[in-house]
Amino acid sequence: MGGLTVGTIVKGHPVVIGSGTIREAPKGAPVPAVIDSAPAFATSIPAIGADPSLERIEAKIEAGKRLSLEDGLTLYATPDVWGVCALAHRVRQRMHGDVTYYNINRHLNYSNICALSCTFCEFHRKRGDAGAYEHSIDDIRAEARKARDAGATEMHIVGGLHPYLPFDYYTDMLRAIHQEAPTLHIKAFTAVEIVHLAKIAKQFKSADRTAGIRWVLEHLKESGLGSLPGGGAEVFDDRVHDEAFKGKIRSDVWLDVHRVSHELGLNTNATILYGHIESVDDRLVHMNMLRTAQDEALQRLGYETDADGGVTLTGEGAALPTPAMNDRGGYFQTIIPLPFFPDGSALEHLPGPSGLENLRTLAVARLMLDNFPHVKSFWIMQTLAMSQLHLLAGADDIDGTVVWYDITKVGGAGTNQETNVWDLQRVIRDAGFTPVERDTLYRRVERDGAAWRLAT
Ligand code: V47
Q: What is the CATH number of the domain that holds 103?
A: 3.20.20.70
In a domain, 296, yes or no: yes
CB–CB of 3/279 below 8 Å?
A: yes
The pLDDT, as a whole number, for residue 139 is 96
The pLDDT, as a whole number, for residue 46 is 59
DSSP 53-89: HHHHHHHHHHTTPPPPHHHHHHHHH-S-HHHHHHHHH
Please check whether residues 69 and 148 belong to one and the same domain.
no
Indicate which atom in ligand 1 lies nearest the CA of residue 121: 28
CB–CB of 106/155 below 8 Å?
A: yes
Please check whether residues 103 and 90 belong to one and the same domain.
no
CB–CB of 234/303 below 8 Å?
A: no
Dist. CA 409 → ligand 1 center (Å):
10
361 φ, ψ (degrees, to nearest 5):
-65, -40
Please check whether residues 217 and 84 belong to one and the same domain.
no
Residue in 420, 397, 379 with CA at minimum distance from that of residue 335: 397
Number of domains in the chain: 2
Q: What is the SS3 assignment for 118-153?
A: CCCCCCCECCCCCCCCECCHHHHHHHHHHHHHCCCC
273 lines ligand 1 (CB under 6 A): yes
Please check whether residues 124 and 59 belong to one and the same domain.
no
Please check whether residues 402 and 256 belong to one and the same domain.
yes
337 lines ligand 1 (CB under 6 A): no
111 lines ligand 1 (CB under 6 A): no
Residue in 412, 410, 344, 273 with CA at minimum distance from that of residue 125: 344
**Ligand 1, from 408, 439, 440, 441: best to mutate by most atoms within 8 Å of Cβ?**
408
> Using CA of residue 105, residue 111, residue 117, residue 123, what is the dihedral sign?
positive
In a domain, 74, yes or no: yes
Indicate which atom in ligand 1 lies nearest the CA of residue 158: 12
The pLDDT, as a whole number, for residue 403 is 66
442 lines ligand 1 (CB under 6 A): no
Dist. CA 338 → ligand 1 center (Å):
6
SS3 at position 368: helix
Task: Give dist(CA 396, CA 401) in Å, integer.
Answer: 16
The pLDDT, as a whole number, for residue 415 is 40
353 lines ligand 1 (CB under 6 A): no
Taking the CB of residue 44, how many other CB atoms lie within 10 A of it?
A: 8
Residue in 148, 158, 159, 136 with CA at minimum distance from that of residue 105: 148
Indicate which atom in ligand 1 lies nearest the CA of residue 378: 18
Please check whether residues 104 and 90 belong to one and the same domain.
no
Which residues are CB-neighbours of 454 under 8 A, at least 6 positions away? 439, 443, 444, 445, 446
CB–CB of 379/300 below 8 Å?
A: no
Please check whether residues 328 and 432 belong to one and the same domain.
yes
Amino acid making up residue 355: G
Please check whether residues 189 and 258 belong to one and the same domain.
yes
Indicate which atom in ligand 1 lies nearest the CA of residue 276: 11
In a domain, 50, yes or no: yes
The pLDDT, as a whole number, for residue 408 is 55
Please check whether residues 22 and 114 belong to one and the same domain.
no
120 lines ligand 1 (CB under 6 A): yes
Dist. CA 156 → ligand 1 center (Å):
12
Measured by CA distance, the residue closest to atom 16 of ligand 1 is 231
In a domain, 177, yes or no: yes
Dist. CA 231 → ligand 1 center (Å):
5
In a domain, 2, yes or no: no
Task: Give dist(CA 105, CA 107) in Å, integer.
Answer: 7
Indicate which atom in ligand 1 lies nearest the CA of residue 273: 26
Distances (CA, A) of 237 to 20, 38, 304, 364: 11, 23, 29, 18
β-pair partners for 187 = 156, 227
| Residue at which a domain ends, from 71, 94, 117 | 94
Dist. CA 317 → ligand 1 center (Å):
32
Please check whether residues 218 and 342 belong to one and the same domain.
yes
> Using CA of residue 187, residue 189, residue 191, residue 195, what is the dihedral sign?
negative
β-pair partners for 108 = 157
Please check whether residues 206 and 231 belong to one and the same domain.
yes
What is the span of the domain harbouring residue 14? 9-94
Q: Where are the alpha helices (DSSP H) in 181-330?
A: 191-200, 209-223, 238-244, 251-263, 280-300
Dist. CA 309 → ligand 1 center (Å):
31
Task: Give dist(CA 372, CA 436) in Å, integer.
Answer: 19
| Residue at which a domain ends, from 72, 94, 116 | 94
In a domain, 4, yes or no: no
In a domain, 113, yes or no: yes
| Residue at which a domain ends, from 41, 64, 94 | 94
Distances (CA, A) of 94 to 68, 98, 368: 20, 9, 15
In a domain, 422, yes or no: yes
Dist. CA 304 → ligand 1 center (Å):
32
Phi-psi region of 100 (alpha: psi -120 to 50; beta: other; left: phi over 0): beta
The 8-class DSSP code of residue 248 comes to: B
pLDDT values of the chain reduced to their tens digit, one per residue, 456 residues? 333 222 222 232 222 333 333 333 334 433 333 334 444 555 555 566 678 899 999 999 999 999 999 999 999 999 999 999 999 999 999 999 999 999 999 999 999 999 988 887 788 899 889 999 999 999 999 999 999 998 999 999 999 999 999 999 999 999 999 999 999 999 999 999 999 999 999 999 888 999 999 999 999 999 999 999 999 999 998 899 888 888 888 999 999 999 999 999 999 999 999 999 999 999 999 999 999 999 999 999 999 999 889 999 999 899 999 999 999 999 999 999 999 988 888 888 999 999 999 999 999 999 999 999 999 999 988 889 999 999 999 999 999 887 655 555 544 443 446 788 889 999 999 999 999 999 999 999 999 988 999 998
Which residues are CB-neighbours of 295 under 8 A, at least 6 positions away? 305, 309, 310, 311, 371
378 lines ligand 1 (CB under 6 A): yes
Measured by CA distance, the residue closest to atom 13 of ligand 1 is 340
Distances (CA, A) of 30 to 12, 35, 64, 151, 350: 10, 11, 52, 56, 18
270 lines ligand 1 (CB under 6 A): no
Please check whether residues 30 and 128 belong to one and the same domain.
no
